Amino acid sequence: MDKVVATKAVQQATEAAMQAVIEYLITDRAPLAEQAHAIIDEVLAGYDCESPEGHIVAGGPVSAKPHERGSGPLLPGQPLVIDIYPRSKTTGYWADMSRTVCIGEPPAELQQMYDTVLAAQELAISMVAPGVAGRDLHQAVVDHFTQAGYETSGQGTEFRYAEGFVHAIGHGVDTDIHAAPHLNTRSDEVLQVGDVITIEPGLYYSDIGGVRLEDLVLVTTSGYLNLTTFPKQLAELNRWSY
């Protein structure tokens, strides 16, 4: 099967799972990460997809750890990072998408952080084109965050830094979830027509939590095609009052 067709099919499953889990978050009186994970798996199974590396539904301060799976209650007024990266059982191709939401109205500092990450993602996506170096995409986002006043600092464990923009701007997605090209400061790789990559800027602070937005983007002869259609909105107004 054609790579792009296969990837789009998995991305469709990813977006359906994202829609289902957000609907759960905003309609349940006391949403739990464990139930959110179960919903994701159920929806993906209906598309003949699986999550061999799991998925992320992490709320509050623990979402400042980019790979935190998430457990327990998901509370209003906090960042909720949802990252879904399934594989088709039929074709072996993967997709990858992250959204950050907040049940109810977000605090001002969280909204500002979200807006800054969204602007960073829009900047990086606008730069995608054949011949562009992965390190240049990453550096543009680093500069954007620095100019916006978001410091990256501290000694990390899993990642080099503890807080701020701690990971790469993206990676290739194929029949491997982390494939070439690699989009980081150390990469000498350049984008080529036909590459499918993620663009996933994020900010992470232990006193607030994390914000990450991730789209799946195809490199084309004229620039790029965003394969992700799912909307980006931080505030998801819960039907229950708190």
| pLDDT value at 240 more than 80 | no
* Strand partners of residue 57: 82
Q: To which H or E segment does residue 15 belong?
A: helix 3-27
| pLDDT value at 56 more than 70 | yes
pLDDT band of 239, cuts 50, 70, 90: confident
**pLDDT single digits (tens) 158-199:** 999 999 999 999 999 999 999 999 999 988 999 999 999 999
- Strand pairing of 235-236 and 97-103? parallel
DSSP 76-121: TTS-EEEEE--EETTT--B--EEEEEEESSPPHHHHHHHHHHHHHH
**pLDDT single digits (tens) 4-43:** 999 999 999 999 999 999 999 999 999 999 999 999 999 9
| pLDDT value at 241 more than 90 | no
| pLDDT value at 1 more than 70 | no
Q: How far apart are CA 122 and CA 125, in angstroms?
A: 5
Question: What ranges do the domains of the chain cover?
Answer: 3-236
35 token code pair? 């139930």
CATH architecture, domain 3-236: Alpha-Beta Complex (3.90)
Task: Classify burial at 220, counting beta carbons within 10 Å of its beta carbon; exposed 0-12, middle 13-18, buried 19 or more.
Answer: middle
Q: How far apart are CA 32 and CA 144, in angstroms?
A: 34
Q: Please, what is the angle between helix 33-46 and helix 3-27, to 10°?
A: 140
CA torsion through residues 7, 13, 16, 17, sign: negative
**pLDDT single digits (tens) 18-29:** 999 999 999 999
| pLDDT value at 242 more than 60 | no
The pLDDT value given to residue 238:
86
Q: How far apart are CA 69 and CA 77, in angstroms?
A: 19
**pLDDT single digits (tens) 74-121:** 999 999 999 999 999 999 999 999 999 999 999 999 999 999 999 999
